[in-house]
Chain A
Amino acid sequence: MSEKTNIPDQSQDNGKLSRRDFLLLSGTALGTAALRQVTKAPKSDRGASDNPEGKHRWGMIIDIDLCIGCNYCTYACQAVNNLTDEMRYNIVTTETTENGDEYFLSRPCMQCGSPPCVHVCPVEATYIRDDGIIAMDYDLCIGCRYCMIACPYDVRVFNWKDFSEDSPTVPLFGTPELPPRDRGVMEKCHFCSHRIDYGLERGLVPGVDAAATPACIVACPTGSRVFGDLNDPESPANRKLAVSDNPIRLRDELSTEPAVLYIPPRAKGG
């Protein structure tokens, strides 16, 4: 009996509370939105490519069996981005399979769909472009290095030293295409987004035309790396995926949704 009488009371209470909650919530939301607008300072040019509403999603496929560990990808990247010898956006290491076979693992930025580095940055210096590339705003970065600590792939590099001359890999592996960055900011692989933007403006296809394709892809002598638009079924990346068995992503259990996929080594000796 008492339960019966209680039920309408509760629902009434709930009704009142929810209205109040609703008002409170909408007030808070409006206030936050207004504050956000007030505090949203104009940020320096973020250079997103000509890519409304995520038309493109750039991705890279790395065929582990084809990689010979020559490090040309790393050197070309260093030349184009003008990096010192110790700064590497792309890192090649020797790893082993379960069978004990050695192989080379080439590691650029995974350009995660859910990037831990972007979530932790206190000033929004690192951000997701419309085409999924994780880019840096060097003018905003305060150099706290939280993104480097949050990155599960250890691909972010800090600019520890002043560096004014050319990279030692210039001119053998390319010429610098980007202005130098200040000391004390965070840097990372950006899929040579300047080349992608340049190419799209001129009607070139990134992944097909060399001028619009990341330097590491162009430099790879064995075709181990393939680049393209993951949203386009006809892109080189998707065509490579279509003929590959079980492509994998590194540390997939973290749900970071990398845009770099690996084709695992086939068992040796048949």
Chain B
Amino acid sequence: MENSIQVPTITIGQRKFNIFPLWVVFLLVGFLIGVEGMITVLRDGLSVTGLSNQVAWGLWIAIDLSAIALGGSAFVFGVIVYLLRIERFKRIGMLAVLLGFLGYSTAGMVLLFDLGQPFRFWHPIVYWQPHSLLWEITMCVVLYLSVLLAELLPIVLEHPLFHSHPILEKSKFLQLATDFLQKLSGWLHKAGPFLAVVGLTLSLLHQASLGATYGVLSGRGLWFSQSAPIIFVVSAVAGGTCLLFVTSIIVFRVMRPGLVQDKVLRELAQIAGYATLLCIYIRIWDWAVTNYYSFDLEVALQTELLNKVAPYATSFWIGQILFAVIPGIVLISAKRIKSIRVLALFALMPIVCTILTRWNYNLSGLIAQITYDPFTPTVILNNYSPTQTEWQVAIGVISYWLIAFSLAARFLPFKGEDHLHGPGHDAAAAD
């Protein structure tokens, strides 16, 4: 068919180069840099980070939150495809599942190194403390990752290697195995609506709880807010959908032309735009409420300081408001804008905005800390700058995300067809 996968090339002089191998090697170098950092952390402990008793969560938690947020499209499109049964988004929904899985596995990976005792990562699953939001998040993330895996399996098994590769004809065992895998894939596909409901529940629970993780900390005036859970959910929908739009353009428009119509991509852009604008509405509302309630001495002290001290003031107005309002307006008018590349460029901005929101949320309450002086309470500013090892691990996990995404974009068909008895040797994909 139809749609063979086209790999982006660059032309130097007369010759065309396939950039895919170079790109993967580049990412592997990034991943190795990360591995070196990960070994350092496991060997020397968290003393190699820039964290302190005052600023206990830093770059890695910001990455963890961002990765989970940017995987937010998986539950949104699970609902759109399986519950609302809007068929034209089926293939985009498959990509959303991939993004969800990558986001959550990245988060799990970076979180492992953020634990003081990484090899006790399984403790929350065995030693329950249901009052803790962090416990609930751990359980939800573990369960949701399993749901995502169940949703991802049929997408991976769609690869010709698992149903129509010539090598399968040489061994009976391989044939039996692939038959079973295809059956499994069929069952999982049938379970789609059920998985979508479970995924939606788990997602909403923990995306909101991630916000509530900060929202319940009454000792930290800046964080103690009821809007945090909503902001986390809505910004995950916005950022996640924008990322889905950008990646859809790469996977479908550039690499598989004709598989998803431009009209559908534009609709996706509109969904992303509306989600972005909704997020900004709630964000501004929250800003207004925080300032309104600044008659509370502690909150007033902290907001005053944070408004003064960059980068929070600037990053809020430029990074979180401007970077979302403009693309939001552009994306909702996607049908009127001819160039889909321009749309993609604008869709990058809310992604940055989502990451900035997580970074600021995580650090603001730690940087501005109230003292305990009962007579003249003040706010002190703590310092934090990530160390080289922290950046290394960050580069490593981001490289993992990109490698996995690139391999999937390069090799998986994303057609959503039943291959139990289907023919079709896709030579390009089988390579």
- Chain A residues proximal to chain B, CB less than 8 Å: 36, 39-41, 43, 93, 95-98, 105, 107, 116, 119-125, 140-146, 148-154, 156-162, 182-186, 248, 250-251, 254, 256, 262, 264
Given A119-B131, A121-B129, A142-B374 contact (CB < 8 Å): no
Instruction: For residue B156, give the distance in angstroms from its CB to the closest CB of chain A.
Output: 31
- Within the assembled complex, what's the spacing in Å between the Cα atoms of A153 and B219? 8
Q: Which of A119, A124, A156, A256 lies at the interface centre, i.e. has the most chain B CB atoms within 10 A of its CB? A: A124
| Mask: chain B, 109-145; 1 = CB below 8 Å from A; 0 = not | 0000011111011011011110111110010000000
B contact residues around A140 at 8 Å (CB): 120, 123, 127
Q: Does the CB pair B129–A124 fall under 8 Å?
A: yes
Given contact pairs A183-B45, A184-B45, A145 touches B116 in the complex (Cβ within 8 A): yes
| Inter-subunit contact A145/B57 (CB<8 Å) | yes
Contact A251 B372 (CB under 8 A): yes
Contact yes or no, A98 B375, CB < 8 A: yes
Contact (Cβ within 8 A) B115 A119: no
Q: Which of A105, A148, A262 contacts B56 (CB 8 A)?
A: A148
A154 pairs with B372, CB closer than 8 A: yes
CB distance A161 to B45 under 8 Å? yes
Place the interface of chain B in its size category. Answer: 35 or more
Closest CB in chain A relative to B57 CB, distance in Å: 7
- Which residues of the other chain, B, contact A36 by a CB distance below 8 angstroms? 128
Decide: A154 and B54 in contact? CB cutoff 8 A.
yes
Whether the pair B375, A97 counts as a contact (CB closer than 8 A) is yes
Closest to A96 in B: B376
Contact of B219 among A105, A144, A150 (CB under 8 A): A150
The answer to whether B121 and A142 touch across the interface, beta carbons within 8 angstroms, is yes
Bound complex: CA of A95 vs CA of B375, how far in Å? 9
A125 neighbours in B (Cβ, 8 Å):
127
Quick one: which of A40, A120, A186 contacts B116, CB cutoff 8 A? A186
- Chain B residues with CB below 8 A from A184, complex form: 45-46, 115-118
Give the distance to chain B from A78, nearest Cβ to Cβ, in Å: 15
Give the distance in Å from the alpha carbon of A116 to the alpha carbon of B45 in the complex: 26
B window 143-158: CB within 8 A of A: none
Q: List 22 A-B contacts (CB under 8 A).
A: A39-B128, A40-B128, A95-B373, A122-B138, A140-B123, A141-B116, A141-B120, A143-B116, A144-B115, A146-B134, A149-B57, A149-B220, A149-B365, A152-B218, A152-B370, A153-B219, A156-B53, A159-B116, A160-B46, A160-B47, A161-B47, A251-B372
Extra contacts, 17 of them, besides A145-B116, A154-B54 (Cβ < 8 A), are: A95-B373, A95-B376, A96-B375, A116-B218, A116-B219, A120-B132, A140-B127, A141-B117, A143-B120, A144-B114, A145-B56, A146-B213, A148-B56, A152-B218, A153-B219, A184-B46, A248-B374
Report chain A residues within 8 Å CB of B127: 41, 43, 123-125, 140
Q: Do the beta carbons of B373 and A142 come within 8 Å of each other?
A: no
Q: Is B369 an interface residue (CB 8 A)?
A: yes
